[in-house]
Amino acid sequence: MPAIGLERWLQHLVEHLPIARQGHDPEGVHQVRVAVRRLRVWLRLAGMRVLEDDLAWLVRAAGEVRDLEVLLQRPDLPRAFRTWAVSRLKAARAAFVPLLDSPRLAGLLQALANLPPLDEAPAQTRLKRFVRQVERKAEEWQQEGSIEHLHALRRALRRLRYAQEWLEQDSQTAKEMQAVFGEVGDLSFTLRYLSAYQADGGRLPAAYVRRLEAQLQEALEAAQQAWIKAQQKTGGVSSG
């Protein structure tokens, strides 16, 4: 594997942009974000800073749309809150969709298509940075114990997983941990939107909120246990 091109995930991005624009299938926005995040990792493996800001811009622009689409897939949402979330999703899409036809995005796609493949040897060396970042974020989470630090570790795990997959290495452990931590992420942003709804004057059954808070606590405990188990099993998530 002397050189690694980005064509596969660039094509994946291009194919899902129209689906994201139409808005009928939540996978459209989701796969746009997946492709962009994988491309950002490719740039880091290549040692390139070029286009990083533009890729980050696209991920951020799609963020609220994706969050709300995931939120609305929950079957247990109170009716009034669901109505509020649908309205907020409509507003988020109104802000996001025009960006998909912008000159900035067109220029980004063209620039990505013109990048040379990355060399495997320096990319293997740079992979160590992803490993170190996971270790650093894990240490911070263990020391602080906050959800914010767990989210930071989850993002580092995702980057490590994508880097391993670009280099055709085993990423199963990082993938499994990412999924466990993802449950915490889903519950925490659900509670965040519930708070926003209440700040807008909405009312929610107290029992419903307490149930979600209890589920979040259970997910946090499961994440802690899964992390300990992964460390005992492999000597570290980075070892696959």
Euclidean distance between CA atoms 43 and 205, whole angstroms: 46
**Can you give the pLDDT at residue 202?**
96
Handedness of CA 176, 177, 180, 183 (dihedral sign): negative
Residue with tokens 């995931």: 70
Residue 3 β-bridge partners: 119
pLDDT tens, position by position, 50-75: 999 999 999 999 999 999 999 999 99
Which ranges constitute the DSSP H helices of the chain?
7-22, 27-46, 52-71, 79-96, 103-113, 120-144, 147-166, 172-199, 206-234
Instruction: Report the pLDDT averaged over residues 208-216.
Output: 96
pLDDT tens, position by position, 63-114: 999 999 999 999 999 999 999 999 999 999 999 999 999 999 999 999 999 9
Residue 4 host element (H or E): strand 3-4
pTM for this prediction: 0.93
Asked if pLDDT for residue 237 goes beyond 70, the answer is no
Asked if pLDDT for residue 190 goes beyond 90, the answer is yes
Rg (CA), the chain: 19
Euclidean distance between CA atoms 110 and 114, whole angstroms: 7
Instruction: Report the pLDDT averaged over residues 8-24.
Output: 97
SS3 97: helix
**Can you give the pLDDT at residue 65?**
97
* Interior angle at CA 182, CA 225 and CA 13, nearest 5: 145
User: Could you state, in order of their start, the residue ranges of all structural domains in the chain?
Assistant: 1-116, 119-233
Residue with tokens 């060396």: 125
SS3 6: coil
Helix axes 27-46 and 147-166, enclosed angle (nearest 10): 70
**Can you give the pLDDT at residue 234?**
60
CB 133 within 8 A of CB 160: yes
Instruction: Report the pLDDT averaged over residues 227-231.
Output: 88
User: Per CATH, which fold does 1-116 belong to?
Assistant: CHAD domain (1.40.20)
| Best CA proximity match to 70, nearest among 155, 152, 153, 193 | 193
CA of residue 169 relative to chain centroid, distance? 20
**Can you give the pLDDT at residue 238?**
55
What letter represents residue 218's amino acid? E
Asked if pLDDT for residue 28 goes beyond 60, the answer is yes
| Residue 204 φ/ψ, nearest 5 degrees | -130, 150
CB 161 within 8 A of CB 127: no
pLDDT tens, position by position, 126-161: 999 999 999 999 999 999 989 999 999 999 999 999
**Can you give the pLDDT at residue 235?**
60
